[in-house]
Chain A
Amino acid sequence: MTALISDITVSPRTGKLRTIWNCLKRDKLALAAVIFLLLLVIATLAGPPLIGDLATKLGLRQRNLAPFSFQHDWIYFLGADTLGRPIIARLVVGAQNTLGIAFAAVLCSMLTGGILGLIAGYSERWYSQIIQRLADVVMSFPSLLLALIVLYTLGPSITNLVIVLAFTRMPIYLRTTRAEVLELRERMFVSAAISMGASPLRIVVRHIAPLVLPTLLTIAALDFATVILAESSLSFLGLGIQPPDFTWGAMVANGRGYLANAWWISFWPGLVILLTTLSLNLLSSWARTFADPQQRWRLQSLRKTPR
């Protein structure tokens, strides 16, 4: 049926952004997710200068201050943590690390996994085999062990945490890319390019990679959520980010001991993690629908012909 429509509508580009916006408006959940993520990005970028050193300033006399109290400054509205630091300030500053780590890790794993996948998929040489075995090894290599090894040998730092997270997520991209390449390389336009004399490098870079990218980006959105959660699990086991640096995950992990009597310490960071990952999941689910020509109409305002 859609084949029919696509043949009929040879529409010029009527503002791609506009189409996206129109489709977004139709899915209220996805719209809410986008708004939340935008606010988050703004807060992450603009917040820290406003907050200054409030996030690290001790207030030992207001330890575990309960939330929703109007007697203190607004910054204490969500309460204070175990060292009396305002949770709002910690959330905003922690967002930088949390999102930064997740972004860097996802980017690194996507790039390395993608490149290795392109090689493993397109080449039939011996190193293709090596890459695949490597992916197997990485897949079954416990991320916790890796975290510990890196923590020990390279020392605790955000960069090293990114390495750990990127490394463990890498095989997903590698395998997906390889599978896509195996399919794409049989496509006619690749044959066409070969017949024109294009080099393997050109084919991979110009013809195959741009088509793999959308798939990888969809995975990346989901992975972003996974990485945030994985990072918090590492913190729970004491293998994640180390003080004085902190992330939302570390905040949840550190506050877990207080769940019974000062729930807010781990509740608020847990909530923002939940909302962030939820937003990303909703958005990527929306994007899948949007990208699928068979399903995209679900996101469009369908105006019927009046009868």
Chain B
Amino acid sequence: MGKTSRITIFATALMASTTWAVYAQDASKAIKIVLPEQPANLEPCGTIITNVGQILSQNVTEALTVIDAKTGLPQPKLATEWTRVDDTTWRFKIRPGVKFQNGKDLTAEAVAFSIKRMTGGTMTCNNMAKFGDRKIEATPVDALTLDIKSDRPEPIMPTLLSVVMVVSPDTPVDKPVNDPVGTGPFKLASFDTQSVALERFDGYWGAKPVIEKANYVWRSESSIRAAMVETGEADLTPSIAIQDATNSETDFAYLNSETTAIRIDMSKPPLNDLRIRKALNLAIDWEGLTQLFGDDVKRASQMAVPGINGHDETLKPWESDPAQAAALVAEAKAAGVPVDSEITLIGRNGIYPNGGEAMEAMVAMWREAGLNVKLTMLDVADWIRYLQKPYPEERGATLLQMQHDNNKGDAAFTIPIFYRSTGQYATVSDPALDKEIDTALATSGEDRAKDFKMIFAKARNDVVADIPMYHMIGYTRVGKRLDWHPDITTNSEIPLANIQLKN
């Protein structure tokens, strides 16, 4: 074979493969979803991790309950109904006729196994974080009835159980797995370094999804994810940056249950002065800052998003009033507050799109108001030291960039962490407030929401422990052949069963 002919063949092969690659996505019922990050593992106990949940939740594994995106209330899934037997005990009826993907039947025993696997402490289970320090214990009553006891009154047990993924009793108890077996409409076909593939599970108890196969890949650059959907290489990406959301036909915004804020370390001067904390809120040019996040974001006045039980819609966000901010600073200075001492704003790299720019902008605004704020951007691991207790000893007066995700329908996943003196992220230490929080947590029904609202109002008006920024917006790009819209749960799950094909 001559040199030339070999080159020709190579070139032809190259061109052939090119065209093949571009038109690989045919109109079959297989779709490709491109995620921002590779899922480290596929352990069903870690579905609260975004990239694990987006693959597994409601697709491979299901829980007893599911949170309604609009009301924030738990709805039946693998449980058909539930009642509160006494203060600390709830009784769940398990859906009959449900099979695991390995053919086993779903029983109360299996659910108890899943709960025990999560709470047993023999392996690290991320989803446990939602339970805080609660202890729960599950006891099967009969084949399809399960009692769940908690160590203290737990009004929102059905909500909490929405994070407990029910897995086949064959799953190892003491070891995380990468081949989960659940009851969902899809089963795992393969998982390697480049993709995860799901296939429709024909023995599913519910309605048969339209989609037959789903392939998940990952690209870290937003522009490339957007490009992949645009060129038809992928059908859906749950997250693109605002600047890439330029096509109103394919790009949809959704409130993503994240709330951004700056936490104020109340223990260090000058931040221990209320006037300064208020000034920090007032000094921001909110209208200008909003430009960074797009017109769809909603100014936040509290750390939980609308739709969460306890969110107070009437609570007003801080207005922009640089004059008053300067006045407050001056007043504090007159009162002997060391307003000139340096305040460090600790930001985290890549926390959310344009997060770094926002911090730069805010620092500039605070400096205008006469506060000596310095920006330090840290890597996650370093940043976490400031986020979580115990805080570093030598920290000084700090402001901390943070973001809080509550998609679990109840302010109980927010308030104690931030405002109770024992809270993981709290800088407040107020016994009276602690008491109010404890009361609210034990309350149920209407009063529960009212109590939470009161606490949010107090945090906003009297304590000013933080600078709530925005209820954030996520953008998805959805390929033209799919009929699907994101909602507040998209950050934690993408139920393939909800995706329809056009035509």
Contact = CB atoms under 8 A, between A and B. Distances in A.
Given A152-B382, A258-B243, A60 B289 contact: yes
A260 B246 CA distance: 10
A83 B361 contact: yes
B365 A58 contact: yes
B444 interface: no
Nearest to B246: A261
B167 to A, nearest CB: 35
A263 to B, nearest CB: 11
Interface stretch (B321-329, B371-379, B466-474): B371-379
B244 interface: yes
Nearest to A85: B360
B377 A242 contact: yes
A61 interface: yes
A85 B381 CA distance: 30
A238 B381 CA distance: 13
A60 B379 contact: no
Contacts of A56: 364
Given A238-B350, A243-B360, A244-B360, A257 B244 contact: yes
Interface string A50-90: 00000011101101000000000000000000110000000
A58 B375 contact: no
Interface of A: 56-58, 60-61, 63, 82-83, 148, 151-152, 155-156, 238-239, 242-244, 254, 256-262
Contacts of B465: none
A244 B363 contact: yes
Contacts of A83: 292, 357, 360-361
Contacts of B51: none
Contact of A257 (B222, B292, B378): B222
Dominant SS among interface residues on chain A: loop
A82 B292 contact: yes
Contacts of B364: 56-58
Nearest to A56: B364
A257 B379 contact: no
A260 B381 CA distance: 32
A156 B289 CA distance: 25
A243 B347 contact: yes
B445 interface: no
Contacts of B272: none
B381 A60 contact: no
Nearest to A238: B349
Interface in B367-404: 375-379, 381-382
A63 B242 CA distance: 14
Contacts of B405: none
A60 B288 contact: yes
A206 to B, nearest CB: 46
A242 B379 CA distance: 10
Interface in B344-370: 347, 349-350, 353-354, 356-357, 359-361, 363-365
A82 B288 contact: no
Contact of A254 (B356, B365, B375): B356
A60 B223 contact: no
B237 to A, nearest CB: 14
A260 B361 contact: no
A130 to B, nearest CB: 32
B215 to A, nearest CB: 25
B241 A244 contact: no
Contacts of B365: 58
A265 to B, nearest CB: 10
A248 B469 CA distance: 30
Contacts of A57: 364
B262 to A, nearest CB: 15
Give the most central of A63, A83, A256: most B CB within 10 Å.
Answer: A83
Given A63-B291, A242-B376, A256 B223 contact: yes
Contacts of B377: 156, 242-243
A148 B349 CA distance: 12
B243 A238 contact: no
Give the most central of A57, A58, A155: most B CB within 10 Å.
Answer: A58
A301 B223 CA distance: 52
Given A57-B364, A261-B246, A82 B354 contact: yes
Given A58-B365, A258-B243, A242 B349 contact: yes
A302 to B, nearest CB: 41
28 contacts: A56-B364, A58-B364, A60-B361, A61-B288, A63-B291, A63-B292, A82-B292, A82-B357, A83-B357, A148-B379, A151-B379, A152-B382, A156-B376, A242-B377, A243-B356, A243-B357, A243-B359, A243-B360, A243-B377, A244-B375, A256-B221, A257-B243, A257-B353, A259-B223, A260-B227, A260-B244, A261-B243, A261-B246
A257 B289 contact: no
B379 A238 contact: yes
A243 B363 CA distance: 11
Contacts of A151: 379, 382
Given A60-B292, A256-B223, A258-B243, A152 B347 contact: no
Interface in B169-192: none
A86 to B, nearest CB: 14
B296 interface: no
Given A82-B354, A151-B379, 17 more contacts: A60-B285, A60-B289, A60-B291, A60-B292, A83-B360, A152-B382, A156-B376, A156-B378, A238-B349, A238-B350, A242-B349, A242-B376, A243-B347, A243-B359, A254-B357, A257-B221, A262-B243
